[in-house]
Amino acid sequence: MQFNKDTGTSPVDLENEDIIAAMKEMQGYIDITPADFMEIYRVAYNHAVDRIARSMRAKDVMTRQVICVHPETSLLETAERMAAGNISGIPVVNEKNEVLGVISEKDFLEKMGAEPSGSFMGVISQCLKNKGCVALPIRGKTAADIMSVPAVTVEPERPLSEISQLFVEKQINRVPVAGPDGKIAGIVSRADMVKSFFAKVC
């Protein structure tokens, strides 16, 4: 479990008895209370979290084999690729592999007229009301018709701490990584970050 500044959670939930037992095993006299130790542990762990987040880069955690589509790719094929890859977002690239935009599940839902606010339950609601296929409005359309533009990308050297902030600011769950030539080099998702960060901390 990753340490959370607000809740105080960490990979191991220490109890006072754990701290006291550890202090008894250490040779010599330690003038510190369990509460003091817990505070030191919390602050130290928080520093470790920040240090690792600053030291790790997009290139360290990104998925390099990226599933992409082109602007002219049909939405049927786009949806099939996303389903086959078990992914919730897909970059749209041109013939030079330069990132033009990104398509997420939310883009599909919004263009299908989901209520309210393009949510999955909005789609369910529409289905129950209309007793028909809510995908009809986008049938025959292409990736270019629903992709989010301009594309938000990061460079391979971007620190994870900045990418994490970008996720919050842009309300996104993934971001393509583009090299100096503008071509897609990988993609970083929240899951990639959590998995890599957890491996480092634990």
Asked, for residue 4, whether it belongs to a domain, the answer is no
Boundaries of domain holding 51: 16-55
Check residue 5 and give its pLDDT: 43
Model-level pTM?
0.71
Say which residue, 171 or 202, is predicted with more confidence: 171
Query: In terms of domains, do 46 and 105 share one?
Result: no
Q: Is the pLDDT of residue 56 over 60?
A: yes
Query: In terms of domains, do 103 and 157 share one?
Result: yes
Distance from first CA to last CA of the chain, Å, rounded?
9
Query: In terms of domains, do 51 and 63 share one?
Result: no
Whole-angstrom distance, CA of residue 102 vs CA of residue 120: 19
Q: Is the pLDDT of residue 153 over 90?
A: yes
Indicate the residue type of 99.
V
Asked, for residue 145, whether it belongs to a domain, the answer is yes
Average pLDDT, the chain: 83
Predicted confidence (pLDDT) per residue in 5-27, tens digit: 444 445 555 667 777 777 777 77
Query: In terms of domains, do 41 and 65 share one?
Result: no
Number of domains in the chain: 2
Answer whether 106's CB lies under 8 Å from 82's CB: no
Asked, for residue 34, whether it belongs to a domain, the answer is yes
Check residue 24 and give its pLDDT: 76
